Amino acid sequence: MADDVLTRHVSHEDDGRAVDRARMRRGLWMQRGGQASFNALSWAGFLFLWLPIFILIFYSFNDSRQLNEFRGFTLQWYQNIFDNVAGSNVQFSTGLMMQAFRNSLMVSLTATIIATIIGTMVALSLARGRFPGRRYIDSLLFLPVVIPEITQGVSLAMFFQLVFEFMRRVDGVAWNYGFTTIIIGHVAFNISYVAIVVRARLANMNPRLEEAAYDLGANGWQTFWRITFPQILPGVMAGALLAFTLSLDDYVVTFFNNGPGSTTLPIFVYGMLKTTVTPEINAISTLMLVLSAVIVVFSLVMQRNLMGHR
């Protein structure tokens, strides 16, 4: 009787162990399988993102106007765009392209600087301020991120139309679309992005740090510049970078709000595209990609240096 109980007990335990082991093995398998499929997925995602871009870069060096053949390496297309040639496009001129590029830089830089300052202030007042309706403004912040860009573009264009009409009636001055309207448009959508990024950084900041600064005799101004600002600087930089890249390649808002002589590079390239995709367009796009990459790397390095060992 006692023996029986004992053996049963033992065999039970054995069963248990076997089950455990099987479960463990299955778990391991799932883990490994999961890992593998996860890796595959992330590679697929990576390819999906980058393959078209690699193809574009590849063809910008292809010594053929046709996409279906590869005839070796050339820098012809790069040379062309600096030699007033762009395939069959008779309107192309290097001067116009460079002008569009300068316009783009000017618009993006101005819009970024303004949006970064306003966006950071918005984030600060939302995180630190105590005023009625703060919570609603907080959620309104996401609006420009989610509403379609075309809505923004059209609504801004309409708004400017009304302003122009008003000014014409009051003052008799005929205002028109141009850099100012483009920059205002870019600032309008960039503020949200900057504010959201800075706000996230502020939310992660230890509020005791500011109190410690007050405690040690720093007033509000000193506390902001010596404690708060260095703490949120990575967020401000990230927000500015985001704003700059969004602004640099913005087409929709720019399209609805540009005027004579304020063509930016995306508008210019799109104008070229209307006829056909030429290798010269590939070359311009590749150059823009390189420029963006340089900016990103530069800002990353700068952030790291600024933050020391953080």
Partner 1 sequence: MSDVKVQLVKTVKEFPGRRGEDAVRAVDSINLTIYDGEFFALLGPSGCGKTTTLRLIAGFEQPTSGDVIIDGEQMAGVPAFHRPVNTVFQDYALFPHMTVMQNVMFGLKMAGVDRREAERRAASALELVGLPNIRKRRPRELSGGQQQRVALARALVKKPSVLLLDEPLGALDLKLRRRMQIELKAMQAELGITFIFVTHDQEEAMTMANRIAVMDQGHILQIGRPDEIYETPRTRFVADFIGETNFLQGRLLHTEDRVGVVDIGDDVSIPAIMPERHAARAGDDVTVAIRPERIAIQGMDVPASADDSRVMVRGRVTEAYYIGTDTRYVVRVASASLTVRVQNTDYQRGMGFKPQQAVYVLWEKHNARLLVD
Residues that bind partner 1 (CB under 8 A): 206, 208-209, 211-219, 222, 226-227, 230-231, 307-310
What are the b/e assignments for 32-52, b being 16+ CB within 10 Å? eeeeeeeeeeeeeeeeeeeee
Alpha carbon separation from 274 to 50, 170, 269 (Å, rounded): 24, 40, 9
Between CA 198 and CA 279 the distance in angstroms is 40
Residue placing its CB nearer to partner 1 in the complex, 172 or 308: 308
Contact 80, 244 (CB under 8 A): no
**Min dist. Cβ of residue 242 to partner 1 (A):** 22
| Chain CA centroid to CA 212, Å | 35
Residue placing its CB nearer to partner 1 in the complex, 158 or 212: 212
Residue placing its CB nearer to partner 1 in the complex, 30 or 216: 216
**Min dist. Cβ of residue 134 to partner 1 (A):** 14
Four-CA torsion 166, 167, 168, 169, nearest 10 degrees: 50
The residue type found at 247 is: S
Residue placing its CB nearer to partner 1 in the complex, 29 or 225: 225
What would the two tokens of residue 255 be? 């399209």
Q: Which of 271, 297, 301, 269 is nearest to 283 (CA)?
A: 269
**Min dist. Cβ of residue 121 to partner 1 (A):** 21
Residue placing its CB nearer to partner 1 in the complex, 213 or 243: 213
**Min dist. Cβ of residue 239 to partner 1 (A):** 18
**Min dist. Cβ of residue 236 to partner 1 (A):** 14
**Min dist. Cβ of residue 120 to partner 1 (A):** 17
What would the two tokens of residue 98 be? 């460079």
Between CA 125 and CA 171 the distance in angstroms is 36
Residue placing its CB nearer to partner 1 in the complex, 89 or 303: 303
